[in-house]
Structure 1
Amino acid sequence: MSTIQAARSPVEPSVPVLPDGLALKYVAEGAANVIWRISLPDEQLTPPPTVIEEYSESTPPPSEVDIDIDIGKENGASKANGANAPVITDYSRLLLRLRKCLPSSESNLLAYEYLSTVIMPLFPPGVMVGQELVKLPPALVARANDTLHHLEKAGVRPSHRQYLYLAGDPRPTEQGMEEGYAFLLEDMTPDTSLGEFLLEFKAKWLVQSPNAPADWKRCRTCALRLRKYTRATKKGKHTEWRGLCPFDLVSNDPKRAKNAIRRILHHPRCEDEKLVERVTAALIGCPQLSILKELQASLDPKGILNADHKSKEFLTAMTLRDCTFYVKVSPTEVQARLGDFDVKSGEAGKSEYWIKNERELIEEGWYNGTEEGDHPWKAEGLEVICRA
């Protein structure tokens, strides 16, 4: 069953139903979702409300939890197969993820079906973050949208996230996209008092694009990053062109792997050599990277320009190229989990966008380093070259 076919005939599951009166606290947002801390009206928030934080283009991180953990059961809810809806009684370790009104995104029900039937079977237990589908009362979404409007007026919501609101608001004055479900995520907030911190990064394309020229010098990720950097600087935007090369992560070369980890850690943590070695050893030893690399290669052998954009295999490969690593680092251990498996449908112009990007990377010389222009990476003979 392809992803597209699955999206047309979802079976409504029996899931916990959120109460309408939950207290909401804005935590963070990505391009497609907004994350909230929730509590019953008479509860004290534990841990304290997170300061408004801006993450990367991915969905803000859920908590690490083994794939087979039933979040609902762990928090006082029981599964119901009949008319009696499950009730969750403890929200102290959970976050709520609400979807934005984006035409290119699937509903949460379809996303859950895709996650449980397509993505989860690809990985062994313990490598993905856990999440639970919940039924959403419309009034809760309306209140959440009111909060977003208030944050905009107060100048607190990130400027590039403004004017896009949550799906499922029943009011005609809102953007009007139906959504009856949300995801509960176990809170992965690090305990800074214990010296913990959280890393978030996308491994992206761990194997070269099958459409890249035979004489390529750059991986697909680095080629696209440099192109985006050039376009951003022409618009007067500040951005970085030196980034993580995915090929370094899966090179099995300790020196290259450490270089990649330093970019993930950023300054000043990247200056701590013992920390770099500890995180490098943990990530190189985790199964996620090798599994992702193998799946990306096997599910999309033809590449964006030649693949069937409606096939389950190709769309799953595109999903796996955009998932996110969440790495919780403490003084005693490093735990890595995969999340943010947003279903890719190729609809709403996405297929055309993928094809356009791939053709421009080839035709403008970004793969083989022949792009026009006097760029910083060409100064004094410096070049950006990737190695498989």
Structure 2
Amino acid sequence: MDTTSPLDAGTPPPEGFHLSDPAEWEYFNEGANNILFRYVGDHPYFKRFLLRLRKALPGAPTTVQLHNHLNNRFAPLLGNYIMRCDLIELDQNFVPELNKALVNEDVGDYDWSGRPINEQRARRLLEEGEHYGLLVEDMSCGNYLYRDEEEEGIEDPGEMWRDMATIEFKPKWLTQSPNAPANWTLCRTCAVRLMSGKGHRPEEQVPEYCPLDLCSGQQERIEQAVYALLNGNNAVMIADPTPDEDDDAEDKMMIDGDAAVETSESISHELAKTLEGSLVTLLTHFFRKSTIIPLLAELQNRFGTRGVFTSATLALMSETDQLPTEEEMARMAMMIGNSEPGENDIWTAMTLRDCSLFLKVWVRKQRGRGMEARIECKVGDLDLKTGDGGRAVYWRDVERRLRKGGWYVKKDVGRNCRTGQGMA
């Protein structure tokens, strides 16, 4: 890549530009359908993005189809909250060369946030017939800890904003399932957790995340949800360049005459320790003021009003709660007719129920006033849900088992999601 161009960090590459050097991209993370790479080259524009490339999976949408879907369907709904995704063209040898590197490279046992990497996923390679990738916003932290203070014109390095923490989680069902019984006491998320055996017994007093707490508007319930999220597995990453066990005076300070001058590393460490103890308060305040959770809840409700059961499904189930076959539902749907316009919006609703929130926490010192913080919030993982692979049947089967097993109305769990009573 030509790195001699005078382009600044905000200037995209020229029209017709191709990514051609796979050596400039290193493995970062992966999901079931794609692999993310981080830029390690010299061009400033790409340093704030991750490169998302799709795996070789049968029936998967192309990158162009996914890009169009995100921009046409979800960008109008989410506005500035949607994670930025830009199409970038790939040289014909780019993906094959990355596949060679993936085969030969040991990606390690854990991803960037400390989560174990699924071995089966790691063995799936990229689609070599794909000619495009997606540049997605990099919401990981620690990328701006050591910016050049002289270039920024900042005398005190403590005045710089540093991206010190990232919180990633799935908000889940922020409104109750329309298919829940009228006398429900557990929300859909908590009922599924209990049914799957992942819920804790009341005597364990372990906080568990309830989406209805987060969107309740009540400070105590929001704080409970935040506390549960922050104590979840690998939900938080704090960038701290100088952990306590490695600290010493020489690492933390530079001596200038008789005065000790704080280094960028020591300031970052100080901010990290302060932030670690204040995240619950900081995020509780954020969710009380931010519009993102009410927006997601409203969208989930708007597109998922009928739940996962169509009129045809409910007519066939009758009082037995026996799930009909796809063929039976198709025949019944033809008999009933298209009485529910927009019924396919269930796919949009389920996508929004399975999206991820990425919160990047920026902090800086304030002279004599402690720490100042701001939070950047983006919505990701908006790949459209479809009926492929029996997913629709799975959703309906889960709902049927929740209803038939009485999981929505369990009385012995010490918790009422409707009122928030019984919080840990």
Q: Same fold (TM over 0.5)?
A: yes
Instruction: Give secondary structure in 2 for the equivalent of 1:123.
Output: helix
Stretch of structure 1 that moved more, 270-279 or 204-213: 270-279
2:130 to 151, 173, 179: 179
2:181 to 188, 193, 213: 213
- 1:165 and 2:124 correspond: yes
Instruction: Give secondary structure in 2 for the equivalent of 1:327.
Output: strand
Q: Over aligned residue pairs, what C-alpha RMSD do you find?
A: 3.4
The 1:15/1:220 distance shift into structure 2, 3 A limit, reads farther
The 1:100/1:270 distance shift into structure 2, 3 A limit, reads farther
**1:305 match:** 309
- 1:259 and 2:231 correspond: no
Return the alpha-carbon distance in structure 1 between the equivalents of residues 101 and 342 of structure 2. Answer: 38
The 1:122/1:271 distance shift into structure 2, 3 A limit, reads closer
**2:85 match:** 131
- Structure 1 residue 19: Cα displacement: 1.8
- Structure 1 residue 241: Cα displacement: 8.3
Instruction: Give secondary structure in 1 for the equivalent of 2:408.
Output: coil
Return the alpha-carbon distance in structure 2 between the equivalents of residues 309 and 138 of structure 1. Answer: 44
- 1:108 and 2:149 correspond: no
Say if 1:152 and 1:162, in contact at 8 Å, map to a contact too: no
As a proportion of its length, which structure holds more helix? 2
The 1:34/1:330 distance shift into structure 2, 3 A limit, reads same
- Structure 1 residue 293: Cα displacement: 0.8
**1:234 match:** none
**1:327 match:** 359
Return the alpha-carbon distance in structure 1 between the equivalents of residues 68 and 78 of structure 2. Answer: 16
Return the alpha-carbon distance in structure 2 between the equivalents of residues 22 and 312 of structure 1. Answer: 43
- Structure 1 residue 303: Cα displacement: 0.6
Say if 2:67 and 2:85, in contact at 8 Å, map to a contact too: no
**2:404 match:** 363
Say if 2:207 and 2:224, in contact at 8 Å, map to a contact too: no
Return the alpha-carbon distance in structure 1 between the equivalents of residues 78 and 351 of structure 2. Answer: 14
Return the alpha-carbon distance in structure 1 between the equivalents of residues 93 and 192 of structure 2. Answer: 41
**1:23 match:** 24
Instruction: Report the TM-score when normalising by structure 2.
Output: 0.63
| Superposition map of 1:63-212 within 5 A | 90-103=45-58, 105-124=60-79, 126-151=80-105, 158-162=117-121, 164-169=123-128, 178-191=129-142, 193=145, 194=162, 196-212=164-180
Aligned length: 303
The 1:346/1:270 distance shift into structure 2, 3 A limit, reads farther
Say if 1:203 and 1:321, in contact at 8 Å, map to a contact too: yes
Return the alpha-carbon distance in structure 1 between the equivalents of residues 407 and 393 of structure 2. Answer: 19
- Structure 1 residue 195: Cα displacement: 6.8
**2:388 match:** 347
> Which whole-Å deviations, capped at 9, do the CAs of 1:196-223 have from their partners, x for residues lacking one?
1100011111111111122222111111
Say if 1:104 and 1:348, in contact at 8 Å, map to a contact too: no
Question: Quick one: which amino acid aligns to residue 149 of structure 1?
Answer: V
Return the alpha-carbon distance in structure 2 between the equivalents of residues 225 and 241 of structure 1. Answer: 14
- Structure 1 residue 139: Cα displacement: 2.7
Question: Quick one: which amino acid aligns to residue 53 of structure 2?
Answer: L
The 1:257/1:23 distance shift into structure 2, 3 A limit, reads same
The 1:273/1:163 distance shift into structure 2, 3 A limit, reads closer
- Structure 1 residue 182: Cα displacement: 1.6
- Structure 1 residue 315: Cα displacement: 1.2
Return the alpha-carbon distance in structure 1 between the equivalents of residues 281 and 67 of structure 2. Answer: 36
- Structure 1 residue 366: Cα displacement: 2.1
Return the alpha-carbon distance in structure 2 between the equivalents of residues 212 and 30 of structure 1. Answer: 31
The 1:271/1:98 distance shift into structure 2, 3 A limit, reads closer
The 1:210/1:95 distance shift into structure 2, 3 A limit, reads same
Return the alpha-carbon distance in structure 2 between the equivalents of residues 15 and 161 of structure 1. Answer: 36
**1:68 match:** none
Return the alpha-carbon distance in structure 1 between the equivalents of residues 403 and 274 of structure 2. Answer: 34
Return the alpha-carbon distance in structure 2 between the equivalents of residues 278 and 311 of structure 1. Answer: 39
Instruction: Give secondary structure in 1 for the equivalent of 2:18.
Output: coil
Return the alpha-carbon distance in structure 2 between the equivalents of residues 37 and 111 of structure 1. Answer: 20
In structure 1, the gaps of 5 or more residues are 1-13, 45-74, 76-89, 170-177, 232-239, 371-377
**1:290 match:** 294
The 1:309/1:191 distance shift into structure 2, 3 A limit, reads farther
Question: Quick one: which amino acid aligns to residue 148 of structure 1?
Answer: L
Query: Percent identity among equivalent residues?
Result: 31
**2:155 match:** none
**2:263 match:** none
**1:34 match:** 35
Say if 2:163 and 2:360, in contact at 8 Å, map to a contact too: no
Instruction: Give secondary structure in 2 for the equivalent of 1:349.
Output: helix
- Structure 1 residue 346: Cα displacement: 1.8
Instruction: Give secondary structure in 2 for the equivalent of 1:196.
Output: strand
Instruction: Report the TM-score when normalising by structure 1.
Output: 0.68
The 1:309/1:136 distance shift into structure 2, 3 A limit, reads farther
In structure 2, the gaps of 5 or more residues are 1-14, 111-115, 146-161, 200-204, 237-272, 312-339, 364-372, 420-424
